[in-house]
Amino acid sequence: MVLNLASKSMALTYTEISTMMAHPESDLMEECLKEDLKFYFMNPCEKYRARHQIPWKLGLQILKIVMVTTQLVLFGLNNQLVVSFKEDNTVAFKHLFLKGYSGVDEDDYSCSVYTQEDVYESMFFIINQYHRLKNISLGMLGYEENEDDRIGLRVCKQHYKKGTVLPSNYTLNIDSEVEIDCIHLDPQVLNSENSGHWMNSSFFSLEFYRLLQVEISFNLKGIDLQTIHARELPDCYVFHNIITFDNKAHSGRIKIYFDTEANIQECKGLHVSGSSQKNTQYILMFDVFVIVSCVTSLILCTRSIVLALRLQKRFTRFFLEKYKRRVNDADRWEFINGWYILVIISDLMTITGSILKMEIKEKNLTNYDLCSILLGTSTLFAWVGVIRYLGYFQTYNVLILTMQASLPKVLRFCACAGMIYLGYTFCGWIVIGPYHEKVRYRAPSLFHQWSKYLEHKDLFSQELP
Amino acid sequence: MVLNLASKSMALTYTEISTMMAHPESDLMEECLKEDLKFYFMNPCEKYRARHQIPWKLGLQILKIVMVTTQLVLFGLNNQLVVSFKEDNTVAFKHLFLKGYSGVDEDDYSCSVYTQEDVYESMFFIINQYHRLKNISLGMLGYEENEDDRIGLRVCKQHYKKGTVLPSNYTLNIDSEVEIDCIHLDPQVLNSENSGHWMNSSFFSLEFYRLLQVEISFNLKGIDLQTIHARELPDCYVFHNIITFDNKAHSGRIKIYFDTEANIQECKGLHVSGSSQKNTQYILMFDVFVIVSCVTSLILCTRSIVLALRLQKRFTRFFLEKYKRRVNDADRWEFINGWYILVIISDLMTITGSILKMEIKEKNLTNYDLCSILLGTSTLFAWVGVIRYLGYFQTYNVLILTMQASLPKVLRFCACAGMIYLGYTFCGWIVIGPYHEKVRYRAPSLFHQWSKYLEHKDLFSQELP
Amino acid sequence: MVLNLASKSMALTYTEISTMMAHPESDLMEECLKEDLKFYFMNPCEKYRARHQIPWKLGLQILKIVMVTTQLVLFGLNNQLVVSFKEDNTVAFKHLFLKGYSGVDEDDYSCSVYTQEDVYESMFFIINQYHRLKNISLGMLGYEENEDDRIGLRVCKQHYKKGTVLPSNYTLNIDSEVEIDCIHLDPQVLNSENSGHWMNSSFFSLEFYRLLQVEISFNLKGIDLQTIHARELPDCYVFHNIITFDNKAHSGRIKIYFDTEANIQECKGLHVSGSSQKNTQYILMFDVFVIVSCVTSLILCTRSIVLALRLQKRFTRFFLEKYKRRVNDADRWEFINGWYILVIISDLMTITGSILKMEIKEKNLTNYDLCSILLGTSTLFAWVGVIRYLGYFQTYNVLILTMQASLPKVLRFCACAGMIYLGYTFCGWIVIGPYHEKVRYRAPSLFHQWSKYLEHKDLFSQELP
Amino acid sequence: MVLNLASKSMALTYTEISTMMAHPESDLMEECLKEDLKFYFMNPCEKYRARHQIPWKLGLQILKIVMVTTQLVLFGLNNQLVVSFKEDNTVAFKHLFLKGYSGVDEDDYSCSVYTQEDVYESMFFIINQYHRLKNISLGMLGYEENEDDRIGLRVCKQHYKKGTVLPSNYTLNIDSEVEIDCIHLDPQVLNSENSGHWMNSSFFSLEFYRLLQVEISFNLKGIDLQTIHARELPDCYVFHNIITFDNKAHSGRIKIYFDTEANIQECKGLHVSGSSQKNTQYILMFDVFVIVSCVTSLILCTRSIVLALRLQKRFTRFFLEKYKRRVNDADRWEFINGWYILVIISDLMTITGSILKMEIKEKNLTNYDLCSILLGTSTLFAWVGVIRYLGYFQTYNVLILTMQASLPKVLRFCACAGMIYLGYTFCGWIVIGPYHEKVRYRAPSLFHQWSKYLEHKDLFSQELP
């Protein structure tokens, strides 16, 4: 779909049309069509001057921008709280469970260990901290059930199978098949009198030469109470934590990854008294008002497009009758105002987004992400739409037309430079990369990330039997 | 008010006027007015050539710039000392009272703790350090009275009320109402033989699940002796320190904020002997001299404007009589020299600022901030005023006129780009923000700060009963 | 060799030729030559329109770009693994052997010590860690033989000879000749019951005033098992580690350098069972396919060049006969299409690189570096070659011609500015350098590095007797 | 003196002259002068074509650039060693004497302490480390005599006098006069059996409320042996170390400054045997060769200028006789070639610098700084001189002339923008500065540094009685 961004082409079309119609044998119908066309390609100011038609649509758009932006800011502040709650929890978990965590991740992994002793200490530290969680944690955390409906830690180690031992002792026998061993430690076991007994189990004597990774996973539940302050119901979270000791590279360095996934869930067994939810109601009313104005704008714009299509049909028929020629496609597209389509899309997104937002507010839904995409994109469209009105002022129009004209040249240059850059990237990555840190990580990060992702997927599918 | 920044338009007006007056029936009065007008729109050099009038005003302005700048530098160095004293004290307090403070703040908070043990240790560390303050601090610090006229620490904890307990034990009952509990610890209590007794009080057993924040506040007094070196009387300060353990997010991470507010107060019970205050007197004399020259400049400029208004009236009357037409507004504004108004404003600010500066020097006032705004802005105006004289040279005039001409185009482009940027900002913040650290903190910092500020205000108003 | 990057000059030549041939007495042969020339300077689209010749070469090039890029990415990911294995091992070694290593190198050295005690501790730490290696290291490391076929550490100290002692005690006697003392510590010695005995040997009482450097070197072997995961045979490595305590500056600061060199070697005594190498075969097949397509492209391009040379000869002869003049050199070069030569070079490199890659895959060769240079450069050439096809579109051609035209001016300006910059660099380095950190290290890094390198070489040649 | 940077104006002059002389009554003398003038304003290529005069001067200049640059690089590498020796020593001293030194300075001070205990510990640490220096230091350090010819530490504390005590106890009495107390601790005292006795002396009980600063100063001697390696004699150094505990701000934070000043001195009692100084001789020969070529260049250029002045005199006389007019100043300046003067200055500096360099090499002088300024500047001039030869090529000449023409416009714009910037700087510093860290330290750093410097000077003059 082509967005005819400025009225230049319209003006041209209009003059074209005028000259076409300047024939003497024009009858009443032609005169009427001419008048309608003229009016159709006017801007709001001219319309007002011509027929004293008040620009309702223009006013509605301006009102909508103000409202949509306000709504976005309100939602954004709310969303910020949710995101920062998740992040703060992740940081807190890292400090609680990772031994010697410095406060910043080293790379995509949190920290790394270099000696066997450190590996054991880090593992036992995690298990002990999990055990003592209620006594050390500052948050409202509780143990939550695993996927297999048991409460506790799940420690899995993944290693190559031992190969068949050959007579000569000096050879290393490894089977490339991967084995997975798991153990389940529930709080009762950890709590029993002979605590620390589990440490001596054969499971925890690792054979580093064939170890691929150790994965400690556990679920925790938490409550985000800060929403109480805004007189809303609190959100409940389940945190799926996975700590991975990655020895896949066998390079003498085990990288410790900490992955946490926070899901919002329905709160059970939580009673909040004294919360008067008047605040929420005002916001819901505001959302309803936004929806109403968007629906109105939607109806007005749809009507405009329908009228435009009807006018186009009339014009086409007239043109065919009079000049025995079909109107060409470009001229027909002139009748479809791209801005209206933009507004319609924006309106549809705002309506969907607002409904989602209200549902989230009512704690029926929790998908903040979809809602933020809908509201954000619709606001972007609304603001971009302002450029259309700037196009009505002559000086700005020149600016917009210049930008329109120069765009293809810029794109063309980029295409040309892009070729060389792409070649350079591939070449630079592979030739210079291994010897220079910056090139290695910047240029091919796309491929790197992508390959890692694939590899990761691959491993996961192997893990689960 | 319009500042006619260059003499171009004046020149135009002048030629206009000349042609208007080129009529043959000009009598003596007209000739005289013509002469006066011609002289009025001359620049200092031309005036000197025409009537050998020495440009006093020009000289005075140059002298003023030198003096005002010197004064600003002197005041600035003094102000620097005050600011750095406050800051050094803040840094020292953070090292004294925050356990494990690394020397740099993490964000807007100083440090953060993640375990219950650390919270207690940090709290008790503050109280103990406060107790031993005289023995550890390097500065001249003393205990100062609180707002309620008592010496000592005030520890306040803020938490949600416990809700009514339901029979089932597995539910969490919270009332969204906020309760505040305070305790006062004066040095005597801390000093008593069973020291540490207070630690075991029930107040210090925090229930983290409903804790909102703990606030430890105390006042200290200090003396800034370094002014003695400059042969001035020392300033005395009262530091209001508030250390906040913020658990509002309930995310398992308690952020520790350290806020200190330093107020300059009258020094009591401090005797400094041997300080001969001759230095101060020279500076006061210099300030007086600045005031005198500013008053002179003020009078001269006011006189010029009065004369200009009189000339304008004469010209208007003459024009009305001769051409039966009113002089239009733009031409009348030509008579008001915008630069003079700039100078007058600058002078008024310098005079007020200088008087303030003298009062501060005499320790009668302490509002460095207002004084720095007045002196700083007046100096800025004085330097900007130099551009006017550059406008008299032809080559520079071209430059200035070009800048004047291109400004609207630049602004127009900015407006257009701004629309897209605003839309992008809102959209980017909400859509990309939560997943990318940089976007989150940069784009909406305005809203973020603002919302935090509001929230903060809100809490404070709730705190005080 | 000149690459005629755009078809502009060709077009000119073509019109030239046409006008030359516009004489009436043109016979059949001339007509034929004219036709051939016309066809030769056409681009693929025109050729297709003229003789319906399908552009095989163009299609092949596009196919080749896709394949070469895929191959490069596959090889690059593989190469990345090798490089990161080496680097991770280096980092792990630094953490294992350097006492108090912070995780980042200070400059080109890893860390530095300032007291005698620290020097001894660092040295003994290395020796002890080497001894306990099997018990602490996470990697699959084993002791490897030195150059002199012994397993163990080699500690060498290098110092100035003591001069002849003069009667007066207060003088320092040093001979500028350098002496080297070495000791060999094998694991058995370190393991013997009176462990720590070696510490007390006179070798380890250093005389710092004449000490130049201590060098501890040892070899370790390791296995990169992660290739098993990709169903390939593992690589075996030998790490030559050299830790140097550099006291050459005698400035009270001994810098500790850690140098490690990893060589891939044939794996002995390693049996991997269960590895089905199907994956490798697909990749080998792909490589073969790349080679085949490159050979085809090579043949086609060579043929084109041969045909072009033949055409050139025909044209030269005809021109000589008809106009009794030799065709000038520039016109003769027009027949040689630079792009073809680029493609031929690229193809030759791809073929060599692919063969190397297959050998590396089969573990017959290990020189990743040469292979990456060959494949990388050939891919760069292939992408740059795309510009040629862009030159066929008129708008892009303008772009390319503009770039060609502006290049000499830009170079000329750079030359001029370069003179001043060079002078500034030399002057700035020597005059400002010693007093400003940034200038010192940026400007003359070339000379610095170079001189250090020379010095290093020099020392090494002295070391070996 | 004006440097006529391009030959444009010369060419103009030349055509002027030609037209002047185009009169028919030209006699032999005139013809001869015309010829000489024509030749004088030719460039080397034209001269060669006209009279087959080989451009000795041009060749000499090119040779000189190569030699001067080589010399500079050689000297620079040497200078680098000296500078890095001083710096490494400073770093080593900071690690040896400052307790808890992190390895990087905090600002212009090395570290800061916040409690009374830390102050005492830091002070005693310095004294103890000084005492044990021989046993801990890695460098060849020895105690050196102070200014008062005694070996040992000098601890000076500077504080305000206690004022007369008033009856009421709650007042603080301070006299603004500054008192200085010093103590001398020689190694013997520190070494005596009751070591640590000095710690309990009343001198070391500091009264922080009136303490201004504590200054610990001591001298050490060291030897830079690394020159032996380059077969030169070693340099001996005396390090004047001053450690200052600065409490002038009385802000609860004592900043610790470490200042070290290294002076090269004659080595006594050091015998280096076995050093064959052949290397030095080659470098000295090279320096002599540089001097010879510079002297030659100097003579040639001086001769050219003398000839030019003579030619100018002839021309002036002829012009006066013929046209009865004096040649104007601008035309007379055309005869003086600015480039020659640049070359002469450069030559004089190189000669002086080379002689200095030889003296430094022979250990007769040690002022590396002056030598580096002379050699550096002369090299800069030599490289800038290359631009002159570029001016002979037409395309480069255009470039140079354009740069010459646009310079005044650029400067004019800068002047105009500078005014506004200056005003903004002053205003911004004083108004925004105290509330924003970046502005505070950037804009007024000039004044800040300058004021600190003055203050420092002032204190020093007070210290010495």
D210 SS3 class: coil
- With beta carbons less than 8 A apart as the criterion, state whether D148 and D223 touch: no
Instruction: Return the pLDDT at A456.
Output: 43
CB contact under 8 A, B225 and D174: yes
* Residue A344 · residue A385 · CB < 8 Å: no
Contact state of C139 with A250 under an 8 Å Cβ cutoff: yes
Mean pLDDT of the region A438-451: 45
Give the pLDDT confidence score for residue D1 in this predicted structure: 33
CB-based contact C271 A173, cutoff 8 Å: yes
B350 has a pLDDT exceeding 80: yes
For residues D23-48, average pLDDT: 73
**Are C172 and D223 an interchain contact pair (Cβ–Cβ within 8 Å)?**
yes
Residue-level length of chain C: 465
The minimum CA-CA distance between C440 and chain D, rounded to whole Å, is: 9
Residues of D in contact with B386 (CB under 8 A): 419, 423
Chain C contact probe: residue of A166, A174, A432 with most C CBs at under 10 A: A174
Whether A406 shows a pLDDT value over 90: the answer reads no
Q: What pLDDT digit, counting tens, does each position of D92-133 carry? A: 999 999 998 988 888 788 999 999 999 999 999 999 899 888
pTM, 2 dp: 0.78
Upper half-sphere CA count for residue A52 (Cβ side, 13 Å)? 0
Distance from CA of A222 to the nearest CA of B (A): 8
Tell me: pLDDT of D209 over 60.
yes
D135/C116 touch (CB, cutoff 8 Å), yes or no: yes
User: What is the Cα–Cα distance from B86 to B96, expressed in whole angstroms?
Assistant: 15
Is the pLDDT at B121 greater than 90? The verdict is yes
Question: Which of A140, A269, A383 shows the shortest C-beta gap to B209?
Answer: A140
| D270 sits in which H/E element | strand D270-273
CB D185 within 8 A of CB D128: no
D212-223 average pLDDT score: 90
**DSSP secondary structure code for residue B198 in this structure:** G
The pLDDT value recorded for residue B94 is: 93
- The C-alpha angle A21, A26, A27, rounded to 5 degrees, equals 140
Mean pLDDT of D295-314: 89
Task: Tell me the sheet residues that pair with C155.
Answer: C183, C216
- Tokens encoding B219: 């006042």
**pLDDT tens column, B179-199:** 899 988 887 777 765 666 777
**How far from B48 is each of B39, B43, B336, C458, CA to CA, in Å?**
10, 9, 21, 78
Least confident of A151-160, C52-61, D291-300: C52-61
Quote the minimal CA–CA distance from D211 to chain C in Å.
32
Q: Where is pLDDT greater, at A217 or B321?
A: A217
Mean pLDDT by 10 residues, chain C (465 residues): 38 49 61 80 74 79 88 82 86 92 84 92 92 86 83 89 59 78 82 68 85 91 78 81 90 91 78 62 87 92 89 85 79 79 91 90 78 85 76 67 74 74 71 54 45 43 34
Interface contact A249-C75, CB threshold 8 A:
no
Segment A14-39 shows an average pLDDT of: 65
Q: Least CB-CB distance to D431: which of B224, B372, B399?
A: B372
**CA separation for the pair C121, C79 (Å, rounded):** 38
Overall average pLDDT of the B157-164 stretch: 80
C-alpha A360/C-alpha A366 separation (Å) is 6
- The answer to which of B98-102, B153-157, C278-282, D262-266 has the lowest mean pLDDT is C278-282
Task: Check residue D348 and give its pLDDT.
Answer: 93
D432 confidence band (pLDDT: 50, 70, 90)? low
| B431–A383 CB contact, under 8 Å | no
Is A138–B254 a contact, with Cβ atoms under 8 angstroms apart?
yes
Nearest CA in chain C to D269: C171
User: Cα distance from B302 to chain D (closest Cα, Å)?
Assistant: 24
Give the best-scoring range by mean pLDDT among A13-27, B13-27, D394-408.
D394-408
Q: Tell me if C116 and D93 make a contact (CB, 8 A cut-off).
A: no
Average pLDDT, chain B: 77
Helix (H) or strand (E) holding B304: helix B278-323
Residues of D with CB below 8 A from B379's CB? Answer: 423, 426-427, 430
Round to whole Å and give the CA distance between A450 and A448.
5
CB pair distance less than 8 Å for A423 and C381: yes
Residue boundaries of the structural domains of chain B: 26-84+280-392, 98-218+239-260, 396-451
Q: Give dist(CA B26, CA B29) in Å, integer.
A: 8
D368 chain-C contacts, CB cut-off 8 A = 434
Nearest CA in chain A to C384: A420
Q: Do A93 and B252 touch (CB under 8 A)?
A: yes
For residues C177 and B303, the model is more confident at: B303
Q: Are the CB atoms for B351 and B291 separated by under 8 Å?
A: yes
ipTM of model:
0.73
Chains with ≥3 Cβ pairs under 8 A against A?
A: B, C
Question: Are residues B151 and B218 in contact, defined by beta-carbon separation less than 8 angstroms?
Answer: no
pLDDT at B23: 52
Chain segment A389-399, per-residue pLDDT in tens? 766 666 666 66
Find which of B213, B416, B430 to mutate to test the A interface (most A CBs within 10 Å of its CB).
B430
Residues D426, B383: C-beta atoms closer than 8 Å: yes
Is the distance from CB of D50 to CB of D39 less than 8 angstroms?
yes
B165 pLDDT exceeds 80?
no
Identify from A102, A250, A439, A451 which residue to disrupt to test chain C contact, counting C C-beta atoms within 10 A and taking the largest count: A250
CA nearest neighbour of D412 among A412, B394, A86, A235:
B394
What does the pLDDT read at residue B216? 93
Q: Residue C95 has what pLDDT?
A: 93
pLDDT at D195: 62
Tell me which chain D residue has its CA closest to the CA of residue B395: D412
With an 8 Å Cβ cutoff, are D431 and B373 in contact? yes
**CA closest to A381 among chain B residues:** B423
Paired residues of B175 in beta bridges = A273, B161
Residues 6+ apart with CB under 8 A from C224: A249, A250, A251, C81, C82, C85, C234, C235, C236, C237
Whole-angstrom Cα distance, residue B197 to residue C366? Answer: 72
Q: Which of D138, D270, D395 sits opposite C247 (nearest CB)?
A: D138
Using alpha carbons, list the distances in angstroms from residue D8 to A66, A80, B292. 65, 67, 56
What distance in Å separates residue D101's CA from the closest CA in chain C?
Answer: 12
CA distance D82 to chain C (A): 9
Average pLDDT (D332-336) is 77
Question: Dihedral (C-alpha) A319, A325, A327, A328: value to the nearest 10 degrees?
Answer: -170
Predicted confidence band of residue B240 (pLDDT cuts 50, 70, 90): very high
B86, B235, B368, D88 from B364: Cα distances, Å: 20, 11, 12, 52
pLDDT higher than threshold 60 for residue A440? no
Average pLDDT in chain A: 77
Contacts of B301 (CB under 8 A, 6+ apart): B57, B340, B343, B344, B347
C-alpha A423/C-alpha C376 separation (Å) is 9
Distance from the A291 Cα atom to the nearest Cα atom in chain B, whole angstroms:
19
Q: In the predicted model, is pLDDT for residue A61 greater than 90?
A: no
Q: Report the pLDDT value the prediction gives residue C8, as an integer from 0 to 100.
A: 40
CA–CA separation, C84 and C76 (whole Å): 12
Backbone angles phi, psi at C115, to 5 degrees: -125, 155
DSSP class of residue C167? S
pLDDT at site A203: 86
Res B287 pLDDT > 50? yes
- Shortest distance between the Cα of B107 and any Cα of chain A, in A, equals 13
Q: How confident is the model at residue A444, as a pLDDT?
A: 44
Nearest neighbour of B171 by CB, restricted to A95, A270, A372: A270
Minimal C-alpha gap between B343 and chain A (Å): 36
Whether the per-residue pLDDT at B438 is higher than 70: the answer is no
Contacts of B115 in chain A (CB under 8 A): 96, 136-138
Nearest Cα to Cα of residue A226 among A358, A73, A80 = A80
Structure confidence by residue, pLDDT tens digits, D163-179: 665 555 556 677 778 88
- Which residues are C270's β-sheet partners? A172
Average pLDDT for residues A95-108, to the nearest whole number?
87
**A170 contacts in chain C (CB < 8 Å):** 269
The per-residue pLDDT for C457 is 41
- pLDDT-wise least confident of A13-22, A272-281, A355-364, B453-462: B453-462
Between helices D338-361 and D278-323, what is the axis angle to 10°? Answer: 160
Task: Give contacts of A92 with chain B, Cβ < 8 Å.
Answer: 114, 251-253
Mean pLDDT check: name the lowest of A70-74, B238-242, D264-268. Answer: D264-268
Least confident segment among B100-114, B368-382, C89-103, D221-235: D221-235
The H or E element that residue B384 is part of is helix B368-390
pLDDT above 90 for A214: yes
From residue A330, alpha-carbon distances to A14, A30, A406, C406 in Å are 13, 22, 21, 39
pLDDT over threshold 50, residue B3: no
Q: Inform me whether the pLDDT recorded for A277 exceeds 80.
A: no
Whether C95 sits inside 8 A of A253 (CB atoms) is yes
